[in-house]
Structure 1
Protein backbone atom coordinates (compact mmCIF):
# COMPACT_ATOMS: atom_id res chain seq x y z
CA UNK A 1 0.00 0.00 0.00
CA UNK A 2 1.55 3.39 -1.00
CA UNK A 3 2.52 5.76 1.76
CA UNK A 4 0.03 8.47 2.55
CA UNK A 5 1.21 11.87 1.26
CA UNK A 6 2.51 14.14 3.95
CA UNK A 7 -0.02 16.74 5.10
CA UNK A 8 0.78 20.22 3.85
CA UNK A 9 0.51 23.54 5.68
CA UNK A 10 -0.11 26.22 3.03
CA UNK A 11 -0.89 28.87 5.65
CA UNK A 12 2.65 28.87 7.10
CA UNK A 13 4.48 30.77 4.35
CA UNK A 14 4.55 31.54 0.65
CA UNK A 15 6.90 28.60 0.16
CA UNK A 16 4.44 26.24 1.83
CA UNK A 17 1.65 27.69 -0.31
CA UNK A 18 3.75 27.15 -3.44
CA UNK A 19 4.19 23.48 -2.54
CA UNK A 20 0.51 23.01 -1.71
CA UNK A 21 -0.61 24.58 -4.99
CA UNK A 22 1.89 22.46 -6.86
CA UNK A 23 0.49 19.27 -5.35
CA UNK A 24 -3.13 20.39 -5.89
CA UNK A 25 -2.57 21.12 -9.58
CA UNK A 26 -0.49 17.98 -10.05
CA UNK A 27 -3.21 15.80 -8.55
CA UNK A 28 -5.90 17.64 -10.52
CA UNK A 29 -3.94 16.82 -13.67
CA UNK A 30 -3.62 13.20 -12.43
CA UNK A 31 0.15 13.33 -12.59
CA UNK A 32 2.41 11.39 -10.27
CA UNK A 33 5.61 12.99 -9.03
CA UNK A 34 7.45 10.72 -11.44
CA UNK A 35 5.34 11.92 -14.37
CA UNK A 36 5.79 15.58 -13.43
CA UNK A 37 9.52 14.95 -13.09
CA UNK A 38 9.61 13.90 -16.75
CA UNK A 39 7.86 17.13 -17.73
CA UNK A 40 9.96 19.64 -15.77
CA UNK A 41 13.26 17.70 -15.76
CA UNK A 42 13.68 17.88 -11.99
CA UNK A 43 14.09 14.74 -9.92
CA UNK A 44 11.10 13.14 -8.22
CA UNK A 45 12.72 13.45 -4.80
CA UNK A 46 13.43 17.14 -5.33
CA UNK A 47 9.84 17.79 -6.41
CA UNK A 48 8.63 15.96 -3.31
CA UNK A 49 10.72 18.22 -1.07
CA UNK A 50 9.38 21.29 -2.87
CA UNK A 51 5.80 20.17 -2.28
CA UNK A 52 6.46 19.79 1.44
CA UNK A 53 8.38 23.10 1.56
CA UNK A 54 11.61 21.34 2.58
CA UNK A 55 13.34 22.77 -0.50
CA UNK A 56 13.10 26.06 -2.32
CA UNK A 57 11.95 25.78 -5.96
CA UNK A 58 14.77 26.41 -8.45
CA UNK A 59 14.32 29.56 -10.58
CA UNK A 60 13.38 27.60 -13.71
CA UNK A 61 10.51 25.64 -12.14
CA UNK A 62 7.68 28.23 -11.75
CA UNK A 63 7.42 29.01 -15.47
CA UNK A 64 7.47 25.29 -16.33
CA UNK A 65 4.66 24.60 -13.84
CA UNK A 66 2.59 27.46 -15.22
CA UNK A 67 3.10 26.05 -18.72
CA UNK A 68 2.31 22.48 -17.66
CA UNK A 69 -0.82 23.35 -15.67
CA UNK A 70 -2.01 26.39 -17.65
CA UNK A 71 -2.03 28.51 -14.51
CA UNK A 72 -1.33 31.90 -16.14
CA UNK A 73 1.63 32.97 -14.01
CA UNK A 74 0.33 31.87 -10.60
CA UNK A 75 3.47 29.89 -9.78
CA UNK A 76 5.77 32.71 -10.88
CA UNK A 77 3.86 35.10 -8.59
CA UNK A 78 4.12 32.67 -5.66
CA UNK A 79 7.80 32.17 -6.39
CA UNK A 80 8.50 35.89 -6.16
CA UNK A 81 6.91 35.93 -2.72
CA UNK A 82 8.65 32.75 -1.58
CA UNK A 83 12.07 33.96 -2.75
CA UNK A 84 11.86 36.82 -0.24
CA UNK A 85 11.54 34.36 2.64
CA UNK A 86 14.62 32.21 2.08
CA UNK A 87 17.19 34.42 3.78
CA UNK A 88 17.70 34.50 7.55
CA UNK A 89 15.70 37.17 9.36
CA UNK A 90 18.71 39.42 9.99
CA UNK A 91 19.33 39.66 6.24
CA UNK A 92 15.76 40.10 5.04
CA UNK A 93 15.75 43.88 5.37
CA UNK A 94 19.05 44.09 3.51
CA UNK A 95 17.70 41.78 0.77
CA UNK A 96 14.55 43.88 0.41
CA UNK A 97 16.62 47.05 0.04
CA UNK A 98 18.92 45.35 -2.46
CA UNK A 99 15.95 44.68 -4.74
CA UNK A 100 15.18 48.41 -4.72
CA UNK A 101 18.74 49.66 -5.19
CA UNK A 102 19.71 51.46 -8.39
CA UNK A 103 23.38 51.52 -7.37
CA UNK A 104 25.22 48.89 -5.34
CA UNK A 105 28.80 49.52 -4.24
CA UNK A 106 30.62 46.75 -2.39
CA UNK A 107 34.03 46.15 -0.85
CA UNK A 108 35.04 42.53 -0.27
CA UNK A 109 38.09 41.64 1.77
CA UNK A 110 38.06 37.82 1.85
CA UNK A 111 35.51 36.18 -0.47
CA UNK A 112 33.71 37.03 -3.70
CA UNK A 113 30.37 38.74 -2.91
CA UNK A 114 27.25 36.64 -3.30
CA UNK A 115 25.84 38.75 -6.14
CA UNK A 116 28.63 37.67 -8.50
CA UNK A 117 29.57 34.20 -7.26
CA UNK A 118 29.45 31.34 -9.72
CA UNK A 119 27.27 28.42 -8.69
CA UNK A 120 30.24 26.12 -8.11
CA UNK A 121 32.12 28.75 -6.08
CA UNK A 122 29.03 29.34 -3.92
CA UNK A 123 28.59 25.61 -3.38
CA UNK A 124 32.24 25.14 -2.36
CA UNK A 125 32.00 28.11 -0.01
CA UNK A 126 28.86 26.77 1.67
CA UNK A 127 30.42 23.32 2.10
CA UNK A 128 33.40 24.86 3.90
CA UNK A 129 31.21 27.16 6.01
CA UNK A 130 28.68 24.42 6.87
CA UNK A 131 30.69 21.17 7.18
CA UNK A 132 27.81 19.33 8.91
CA UNK A 133 25.16 20.42 6.42
CA UNK A 134 23.47 17.79 4.27
CA UNK A 135 23.70 17.88 0.51
CA UNK A 136 20.10 19.07 0.32
CA UNK A 137 20.81 21.89 2.76
CA UNK A 138 23.80 23.00 0.71
CA UNK A 139 21.74 22.96 -2.48
CA UNK A 140 19.07 25.03 -0.75
CA UNK A 141 21.68 27.68 0.03
CA UNK A 142 23.03 27.59 -3.51
CA UNK A 143 19.53 28.01 -4.93
CA UNK A 144 18.96 31.00 -2.67
CA UNK A 145 22.24 32.54 -3.84
CA UNK A 146 21.38 32.08 -7.51
CA UNK A 147 17.90 33.54 -6.98
CA UNK A 148 19.45 36.61 -5.42
CA UNK A 149 21.60 37.13 -8.50
CA UNK A 150 18.55 37.56 -10.73
CA UNK A 151 18.51 41.13 -9.42
CA UNK A 152 21.34 41.84 -11.86
CA UNK A 153 19.11 40.68 -14.73
CA UNK A 154 16.33 43.16 -13.96
CA UNK A 155 15.28 45.73 -16.54
CA UNK A 156 16.93 48.08 -15.94
CA UNK A 157 19.63 46.40 -13.80
CA UNK A 158 21.29 48.26 -10.94
CA UNK A 159 24.73 49.74 -11.45
CA UNK A 160 27.29 47.60 -9.62
CA UNK A 161 30.70 48.77 -8.38
CA UNK A 162 32.98 46.20 -6.71
CA UNK A 163 36.34 46.58 -4.98
CA UNK A 164 38.20 43.36 -4.19
CA UNK A 165 41.13 43.03 -1.85
CA UNK A 166 43.82 40.93 -3.51
CA UNK A 167 43.14 38.24 -0.88
CA UNK A 168 39.77 37.54 -2.52
CA UNK A 169 41.53 36.55 -5.73
CA UNK A 170 44.28 34.51 -4.08
CA UNK A 171 42.03 32.44 -1.80
CA UNK A 172 40.40 29.73 -3.87
CA UNK A 173 37.36 27.60 -3.07
CA UNK A 174 36.58 24.27 -4.70
CA UNK A 175 39.92 23.77 -6.40
CA UNK A 176 41.72 25.45 -9.32
CA UNK A 177 38.99 24.84 -11.92
CA UNK A 178 36.26 26.40 -9.76
CA UNK A 179 38.52 29.30 -8.82
CA UNK A 180 39.50 29.86 -12.47
CA UNK A 181 35.84 30.01 -13.54
CA UNK A 182 35.03 32.44 -10.74
CA UNK A 183 37.91 34.73 -11.66
CA UNK A 184 36.87 34.59 -15.31
CA UNK A 185 33.44 35.78 -14.22
CA UNK A 186 35.04 38.78 -12.51
CA UNK A 187 37.02 39.63 -15.65
CA UNK A 188 33.74 39.64 -17.60
CA UNK A 189 32.30 42.15 -15.15
CA UNK A 190 35.41 44.36 -14.94
CA UNK A 191 34.08 47.11 -17.19
CA UNK A 192 30.60 46.89 -18.69
CA UNK A 193 27.83 49.48 -19.07
CA UNK A 194 26.53 48.56 -15.59
CA UNK A 195 29.43 46.93 -13.75
CA UNK A 196 32.91 47.98 -12.60
CA UNK A 197 35.45 45.75 -10.83
CA UNK A 198 38.60 47.11 -9.17
CA UNK A 199 41.36 45.32 -7.29
CA UNK A 200 43.15 46.69 -4.22
CA UNK A 201 46.62 45.05 -4.23
CA UNK A 202 48.39 43.95 -1.05
CA UNK A 203 51.00 46.64 -1.64
CA UNK A 204 48.44 49.30 -0.73
CA UNK A 205 48.71 48.26 2.90
CA UNK A 206 46.11 48.88 5.62
CA UNK A 207 42.87 50.77 5.23
CA UNK A 208 39.66 51.61 7.10
CA UNK A 209 37.61 48.68 5.79
CA UNK A 210 40.10 45.87 6.32
CA UNK A 211 38.68 42.86 8.15
CA UNK A 212 35.08 43.06 6.97
CA UNK A 213 32.76 43.73 4.07
CA UNK A 214 30.83 46.86 3.18
CA UNK A 215 27.85 47.30 0.89
CA UNK A 216 26.48 50.73 0.02
CA UNK A 217 23.07 50.92 -1.64
CA UNK A 218 21.47 53.92 -3.29
CA UNK A 219 17.72 53.46 -3.66
CA UNK A 220 15.41 54.74 -6.36
CA UNK A 221 14.28 57.69 -4.24
CA UNK A 222 17.88 58.74 -3.59
CA UNK A 223 18.06 57.33 -0.06
CA UNK A 224 21.32 55.62 0.87
CA UNK A 225 21.99 52.78 3.31
CA UNK A 226 25.04 50.74 4.25
CA UNK A 227 25.47 47.14 5.34
CA UNK A 228 28.53 45.82 7.17
CA UNK A 229 29.10 42.08 7.24
CA UNK A 230 31.23 39.80 9.37
CA UNK A 231 31.53 36.00 9.48
CA UNK A 232 27.93 35.13 10.40
CA UNK A 233 26.23 38.44 11.18
CA UNK A 234 25.64 41.80 9.60
CA UNK A 235 24.58 45.31 10.59
CA UNK A 236 22.30 47.54 8.53
CA UNK A 237 23.24 51.21 8.85
CA UNK A 238 20.63 53.82 7.95
CA UNK A 239 21.85 56.86 9.90
CA UNK A 240 22.79 59.46 7.27
CA UNK A 241 25.97 60.52 9.08
CA UNK A 242 27.27 56.97 9.49
CA UNK A 243 26.42 56.09 5.89
CA UNK A 244 28.32 59.18 4.73
CA UNK A 245 31.37 58.06 6.72
CA UNK A 246 31.28 54.61 5.12
CA UNK A 247 30.84 56.17 1.69
CA UNK A 248 33.94 58.29 2.28
CA UNK A 249 35.96 55.21 3.27
CA UNK A 250 34.76 53.39 0.16
CA UNK A 251 35.57 56.35 -2.11
CA UNK A 252 39.10 56.50 -0.71
CA UNK A 253 39.62 52.81 -1.47
CA UNK A 254 38.25 53.26 -4.98
CA UNK A 255 40.74 56.08 -5.58
CA UNK A 256 43.61 53.83 -4.47
CA UNK A 257 42.49 50.67 -6.31
CA UNK A 258 43.64 49.66 -9.78
CA UNK A 259 41.63 50.88 -12.75
CA UNK A 260 39.07 48.44 -14.23
CA UNK A 261 41.41 47.65 -17.13
CA UNK A 262 44.43 47.09 -14.89
CA UNK A 263 42.25 45.10 -12.49
CA UNK A 264 41.17 42.76 -15.29
CA UNK A 265 44.82 42.25 -16.24
CA UNK A 266 45.72 41.60 -12.60
CA UNK A 267 42.93 38.99 -12.27
CA UNK A 268 44.11 37.28 -15.47
CA UNK A 269 47.62 37.05 -14.02
CA UNK A 270 46.21 35.30 -10.95
CA UNK A 271 44.31 32.91 -13.24
CA UNK A 272 47.48 32.09 -15.17
CA UNK A 273 49.29 31.24 -11.91
CA UNK A 274 46.69 28.67 -10.87
CA UNK A 275 47.82 25.02 -11.03
CA UNK A 276 46.44 23.04 -13.95
Structure 2
Protein backbone atom coordinates (compact mmCIF):
# COMPACT_ATOMS: atom_id res chain seq x y z
CA UNK A 1 0.00 0.00 0.00
CA UNK A 2 1.34 3.44 -0.91
CA UNK A 3 2.41 5.56 2.03
CA UNK A 4 0.03 8.42 2.72
CA UNK A 5 1.59 11.83 2.09
CA UNK A 6 1.79 14.00 5.20
CA UNK A 7 0.34 17.51 5.08
CA UNK A 8 2.42 20.45 6.35
CA UNK A 9 -0.24 22.73 7.75
CA UNK A 10 2.32 25.53 8.29
CA UNK A 11 2.78 26.05 4.54
CA UNK A 12 -0.37 28.08 3.96
CA UNK A 13 -3.94 28.73 5.08
CA UNK A 14 -5.30 26.13 2.59
CA UNK A 15 -2.96 23.40 3.85
CA UNK A 16 -3.79 24.18 7.48
CA UNK A 17 -7.50 23.95 6.64
CA UNK A 18 -6.99 20.72 4.69
CA UNK A 19 -4.96 19.12 7.47
CA UNK A 20 -7.69 19.96 9.99
CA UNK A 21 -10.32 18.46 7.67
CA UNK A 22 -8.35 15.23 7.32
CA UNK A 23 -7.80 15.04 11.11
CA UNK A 24 -11.51 15.48 11.83
CA UNK A 25 -12.49 12.95 9.15
CA UNK A 26 -10.09 10.29 10.37
CA UNK A 27 -10.96 10.95 14.02
CA UNK A 28 -14.56 10.20 13.06
CA UNK A 29 -13.44 6.94 11.44
CA UNK A 30 -14.62 8.02 7.97
CA UNK A 31 -13.04 7.39 4.59
CA UNK A 32 -13.05 9.97 1.81
CA UNK A 33 -15.98 8.12 0.24
CA UNK A 34 -17.89 8.19 3.52
CA UNK A 35 -17.53 11.94 3.93
CA UNK A 36 -18.60 12.92 0.41
CA UNK A 37 -21.52 10.48 0.35
CA UNK A 38 -24.71 12.49 -0.12
CA UNK A 39 -22.88 15.46 -1.70
CA UNK A 40 -22.31 16.30 -5.37
CA UNK A 41 -18.54 15.79 -5.12
CA UNK A 42 -16.16 12.87 -5.56
CA UNK A 43 -13.46 11.55 -3.25
CA UNK A 44 -10.62 12.98 -5.39
CA UNK A 45 -12.14 16.44 -4.98
CA UNK A 46 -12.11 16.03 -1.20
CA UNK A 47 -8.59 14.61 -1.26
CA UNK A 48 -7.38 17.71 -3.15
CA UNK A 49 -8.95 19.93 -0.48
CA UNK A 50 -7.23 17.99 2.28
CA UNK A 51 -3.87 18.53 0.56
CA UNK A 52 -4.52 22.26 0.24
CA UNK A 53 -4.73 22.07 -3.57
CA UNK A 54 -8.40 22.98 -3.98
CA UNK A 55 -10.82 25.35 -2.32
CA UNK A 56 -13.72 24.12 -0.22
CA UNK A 57 -17.08 25.00 -1.84
CA UNK A 58 -19.59 26.41 0.62
CA UNK A 59 -22.11 23.61 0.08
CA UNK A 60 -19.44 20.96 0.69
CA UNK A 61 -18.23 22.79 3.81
CA UNK A 62 -21.77 22.71 5.19
CA UNK A 63 -22.05 19.04 4.31
CA UNK A 64 -18.75 18.28 6.10
CA UNK A 65 -19.85 20.20 9.20
CA UNK A 66 -23.09 18.26 9.30
CA UNK A 67 -21.46 14.83 8.86
CA UNK A 68 -18.56 15.54 11.23
CA UNK A 69 -20.58 17.47 13.80
CA UNK A 70 -18.12 20.38 13.73
CA UNK A 71 -20.64 23.13 14.50
CA UNK A 72 -20.04 25.21 11.36
CA UNK A 73 -16.21 25.22 11.66
CA UNK A 74 -15.49 24.43 8.00
CA UNK A 75 -18.20 26.76 6.70
CA UNK A 76 -16.86 29.63 8.83
CA UNK A 77 -13.26 29.17 7.75
CA UNK A 78 -13.59 28.32 4.04
CA UNK A 79 -13.83 32.08 3.32
CA UNK A 80 -10.33 32.60 4.80
CA UNK A 81 -8.99 29.89 2.50
CA UNK A 82 -10.65 31.55 -0.49
CA UNK A 83 -9.03 34.92 0.29
CA UNK A 84 -5.63 33.31 0.85
CA UNK A 85 -5.65 31.85 -2.67
CA UNK A 86 -6.49 35.07 -4.52
CA UNK A 87 -3.00 36.39 -5.29
CA UNK A 88 -3.23 39.27 -7.77
CA UNK A 89 -6.42 37.96 -9.38
CA UNK A 90 -9.79 39.66 -9.02
CA UNK A 91 -11.84 38.22 -6.18
CA UNK A 92 -14.73 37.24 -8.45
CA UNK A 93 -12.34 35.09 -10.53
CA UNK A 94 -11.16 32.81 -7.72
CA UNK A 95 -13.60 29.97 -8.31
CA UNK A 96 -12.60 29.80 -11.99
CA UNK A 97 -8.90 30.06 -11.12
CA UNK A 98 -9.11 26.91 -9.04
CA UNK A 99 -11.67 25.10 -11.17
CA UNK A 100 -9.64 25.28 -14.39
CA UNK A 101 -6.78 23.42 -12.68
CA UNK A 102 -9.04 20.41 -12.16
CA UNK A 103 -11.37 20.60 -15.18
CA UNK A 104 -11.36 17.76 -17.69
CA UNK A 105 -12.90 20.04 -20.36
CA UNK A 106 -12.67 23.85 -20.70
CA UNK A 107 -14.67 25.59 -23.43
CA UNK A 108 -14.34 29.33 -24.00
CA UNK A 109 -16.03 31.97 -26.14
CA UNK A 110 -13.80 35.02 -26.64
CA UNK A 111 -15.43 37.84 -28.63
CA UNK A 112 -13.13 40.76 -27.70
CA UNK A 113 -9.76 39.61 -26.26
CA UNK A 114 -7.83 36.36 -26.21
CA UNK A 115 -8.62 34.24 -23.14
CA UNK A 116 -6.18 34.68 -20.27
CA UNK A 117 -4.73 31.19 -20.73
CA UNK A 118 -3.83 32.03 -24.34
CA UNK A 119 -2.21 35.45 -23.78
CA UNK A 120 1.45 36.34 -24.14
CA UNK A 121 2.92 38.57 -21.43
CA UNK A 122 2.82 41.58 -23.79
CA UNK A 123 -0.84 40.98 -24.60
CA UNK A 124 -1.77 40.44 -20.94
CA UNK A 125 0.05 43.64 -19.95
CA UNK A 126 -1.81 45.61 -22.62
CA UNK A 127 -5.17 44.26 -21.42
CA UNK A 128 -4.41 45.01 -17.76
CA UNK A 129 -3.14 48.50 -18.66
CA UNK A 130 -6.26 49.21 -20.71
CA UNK A 131 -8.45 48.30 -17.72
CA UNK A 132 -6.25 50.02 -15.10
CA UNK A 133 -4.52 52.89 -16.98
CA UNK A 134 -3.32 54.70 -13.83
CA UNK A 135 -2.13 51.64 -11.92
CA UNK A 136 1.59 51.66 -10.97
CA UNK A 137 3.88 48.96 -12.33
CA UNK A 138 4.02 47.21 -8.95
CA UNK A 139 0.28 46.52 -9.26
CA UNK A 140 0.26 45.64 -12.95
CA UNK A 141 3.18 43.20 -13.09
CA UNK A 142 1.84 40.76 -10.43
CA UNK A 143 -1.38 40.54 -12.44
CA UNK A 144 0.61 39.71 -15.57
CA UNK A 145 2.79 37.19 -13.73
CA UNK A 146 -0.22 35.42 -12.20
CA UNK A 147 -1.91 35.25 -15.59
CA UNK A 148 1.18 33.70 -17.18
CA UNK A 149 1.39 31.14 -14.38
CA UNK A 150 -2.10 29.88 -15.16
CA UNK A 151 -0.97 28.64 -18.57
CA UNK A 152 1.29 26.05 -16.92
CA UNK A 153 -1.67 23.66 -17.02
CA UNK A 154 -0.95 23.15 -20.74
CA UNK A 155 2.40 21.61 -19.73
CA UNK A 156 0.97 19.17 -17.18
CA UNK A 157 0.42 15.96 -19.13
CA UNK A 158 -1.15 14.33 -16.07
CA UNK A 159 -3.94 16.93 -15.88
CA UNK A 160 -4.13 18.27 -19.40
CA UNK A 161 -7.70 19.45 -20.03
CA UNK A 162 -9.48 19.31 -23.34
CA UNK A 163 -9.44 23.05 -24.13
CA UNK A 164 -11.71 24.41 -26.87
CA UNK A 165 -11.59 28.13 -27.72
CA UNK A 166 -14.07 29.78 -30.06
CA UNK A 167 -12.55 33.13 -31.09
CA UNK A 168 -14.10 36.05 -32.94
CA UNK A 169 -12.44 37.16 -36.16
CA UNK A 170 -11.69 40.59 -34.63
CA UNK A 171 -9.07 39.05 -32.32
CA UNK A 172 -6.97 38.36 -35.41
CA UNK A 173 -7.62 41.54 -37.39
CA UNK A 174 -8.00 44.30 -34.77
CA UNK A 175 -4.53 44.78 -33.32
CA UNK A 176 -4.12 45.77 -29.69
CA UNK A 177 -0.30 45.55 -29.90
CA UNK A 178 2.37 46.60 -32.40
CA UNK A 179 2.58 44.25 -35.37
CA UNK A 180 5.60 42.17 -34.19
CA UNK A 181 3.96 41.56 -30.80
CA UNK A 182 0.64 40.66 -32.43
CA UNK A 183 2.51 38.15 -34.58
CA UNK A 184 3.98 36.57 -31.42
CA UNK A 185 0.54 36.42 -29.83
CA UNK A 186 -0.94 34.59 -32.81
CA UNK A 187 2.13 32.36 -33.13
CA UNK A 188 1.68 31.23 -29.53
CA UNK A 189 -1.96 30.25 -30.14
CA UNK A 190 -1.01 28.44 -33.34
CA UNK A 191 1.78 26.59 -31.52
CA UNK A 192 -0.63 25.37 -28.84
CA UNK A 193 -2.95 24.10 -31.58
CA UNK A 194 -0.14 22.33 -33.40
CA UNK A 195 1.07 20.74 -30.16
CA UNK A 196 -2.50 19.44 -29.67
CA UNK A 197 -2.90 21.37 -26.44
CA UNK A 198 -5.97 23.30 -27.62
CA UNK A 199 -8.58 23.38 -30.39
CA UNK A 200 -9.69 26.69 -31.90
CA UNK A 201 -12.52 27.84 -34.11
CA UNK A 202 -12.90 31.29 -35.66
CA UNK A 203 -16.32 32.91 -35.92
CA UNK A 204 -16.35 35.31 -38.86
CA UNK A 205 -18.03 38.70 -38.80
CA UNK A 206 -20.21 37.57 -41.69
CA UNK A 207 -21.39 34.43 -39.85
CA UNK A 208 -24.69 36.06 -38.93
CA UNK A 209 -26.69 35.75 -35.69
CA UNK A 210 -25.56 33.30 -33.02
CA UNK A 211 -26.39 32.72 -29.33
CA UNK A 212 -23.38 34.64 -27.94
CA UNK A 213 -23.49 37.92 -29.84
CA UNK A 214 -22.66 39.72 -26.58
CA UNK A 215 -20.66 38.71 -23.55
CA UNK A 216 -18.07 36.05 -22.85
CA UNK A 217 -18.54 32.59 -21.43
CA UNK A 218 -16.44 29.72 -20.13
CA UNK A 219 -17.76 26.21 -19.50
CA UNK A 220 -15.90 23.73 -17.31
CA UNK A 221 -16.61 20.04 -16.82
CA UNK A 222 -15.06 17.84 -14.11
CA UNK A 223 -14.71 14.11 -13.44
CA UNK A 224 -15.66 14.56 -9.77
CA UNK A 225 -17.90 17.64 -9.52
CA UNK A 226 -20.88 19.29 -11.29
CA UNK A 227 -20.12 21.47 -14.34
CA UNK A 228 -19.75 25.25 -14.07
CA UNK A 229 -20.32 28.21 -16.36
CA UNK A 230 -18.58 31.56 -15.97
CA UNK A 231 -19.47 34.90 -17.52
CA UNK A 232 -17.54 38.15 -17.23
CA UNK A 233 -18.03 41.85 -17.87
CA UNK A 234 -15.68 44.79 -17.31
CA UNK A 235 -15.21 44.76 -13.53
CA UNK A 236 -17.23 41.74 -12.48
CA UNK A 237 -17.77 38.08 -13.17
CA UNK A 238 -20.30 35.43 -12.20
CA UNK A 239 -19.79 31.71 -11.68
CA UNK A 240 -22.95 29.71 -12.39
CA UNK A 241 -23.48 26.28 -10.87
CA UNK A 242 -27.25 25.85 -11.24
CA UNK A 243 -27.50 22.64 -13.34
CA UNK A 244 -30.43 23.81 -15.46
CA UNK A 245 -28.79 27.14 -16.30
CA UNK A 246 -25.42 25.53 -17.03
CA UNK A 247 -27.24 23.18 -19.41
CA UNK A 248 -28.69 26.23 -21.23
CA UNK A 249 -25.18 27.64 -21.65
CA UNK A 250 -24.07 24.23 -22.89
CA UNK A 251 -26.73 24.20 -25.63
CA UNK A 252 -25.93 27.77 -26.66
CA UNK A 253 -22.22 27.01 -26.87
CA UNK A 254 -22.87 24.00 -29.10
CA UNK A 255 -24.89 26.25 -31.43
CA UNK A 256 -22.05 28.78 -31.43
CA UNK A 257 -19.57 26.12 -32.52
CA UNK A 258 -21.88 25.25 -35.39
CA UNK A 259 -21.34 28.70 -36.96
CA UNK A 260 -17.55 28.68 -36.49
CA UNK A 261 -14.98 27.71 -39.08
CA UNK A 262 -13.48 24.23 -38.85
CA UNK A 263 -10.42 23.81 -36.59
CA UNK A 264 -8.16 23.26 -39.62
CA UNK A 265 -9.43 26.34 -41.43
CA UNK A 266 -9.20 28.36 -38.23
CA UNK A 267 -5.56 27.40 -37.68
CA UNK A 268 -4.74 28.44 -41.25
CA UNK A 269 -6.41 31.82 -40.62
CA UNK A 270 -4.44 32.37 -37.40
CA UNK A 271 -1.13 31.54 -39.10
CA UNK A 272 -1.95 33.73 -42.12
CA UNK A 273 -2.80 36.70 -39.88
CA UNK A 274 0.46 36.21 -37.94
CA UNK A 275 2.41 36.28 -41.20
CA UNK A 276 0.66 39.51 -42.22
CA UNK A 277 1.74 41.14 -38.97
CA UNK A 278 5.30 39.87 -39.44
CA UNK A 279 5.32 41.60 -42.82
CA UNK A 280 4.14 44.84 -41.25
CA UNK A 281 0.62 44.60 -42.67
CA UNK A 282 -2.77 44.84 -41.00
CA UNK A 283 -4.79 41.67 -41.74
CA UNK A 284 -7.98 42.37 -43.63
CA UNK A 285 -11.30 40.72 -42.92
CA UNK A 286 -11.01 36.97 -43.04
CA UNK A 287 -12.89 34.53 -45.17
Q: State the TM-score, normalized to the length of structure 1.
A: 0.67
Shift of 1:191: 5.0
Residues 168-183 of structure 1: matches in 2 within 5 Å? 168-183=171-186
Could you list the per-position Cα deviations for residues 196-246 of structure 1 after superposition, in whole angstroms to 9, with x for gaps in the alignment?
011011110222112211100001215211001112211111111111111
Distance in 2 (alpha carbons) for counterparts of 1:156 and 1:99: 8
Shift of 1:84: 4.6
Distance in 2 (alpha carbons) for counterparts of 1:230 and 1:208: 17
The yes-or-no answer on 1:228 pairing with 2:231 is yes
Residues 1-276 of structure 1: matches in 2 within 5 Å? 84-154=86-156, 155-190=158-193, 192-221=195-224, 223-274=226-277, 276=280
2:217·2:231 contact (CA, 8 Å) conserved in 1?
yes
Distance in 1 (alpha carbons) for counterparts of 2:85 and 2:242: 28
Paired residue for 1:57? none
Paired residue for 2:32? none
Distance in 2 (alpha carbons) for counterparts of 1:224 and 1:116: 22
1:151·1:157 contact (CA, 8 Å) conserved in 2?
yes
Shift of 1:192: 4.3
Distance in 2 (alpha carbons) for counterparts of 1:95 and 1:248: 24
- Figure out how many residues of one structure are paired with residues of the other and give that number: 199
Could you list the per-position Cα deviations for residues 180-199 of structure 1 after superposition, in whole angstroms to 9, with x for gaps in the alignment?
11111121233544420110
Gaps of 5+ in 1: 1-10, 15-80
**3-state DSSP class of the match of 2:244?**
helix
Shift of 1:170: 1.8
Shift of 1:269: 2.7
Shift of 1:82: 6.5
Shift of 1:137: 1.5
Distance in 2 (alpha carbons) for counterparts of 1:163 and 1:210: 12
Shift of 1:90: 1.2
Paired residue for 1:75? none
Evaluate the alpha carbon distance shift between residue 83 and residue 170 of structure 1 in structure 2; reply closer, same or farther with a 3 A threshold.
Answer: farther
Gaps of 5+ in 2: 1-9, 14-82, 281-287
Please provide the CA RMSD for this pair: 2.1
Distance in 2 (alpha carbons) for counterparts of 1:255 and 1:219: 24
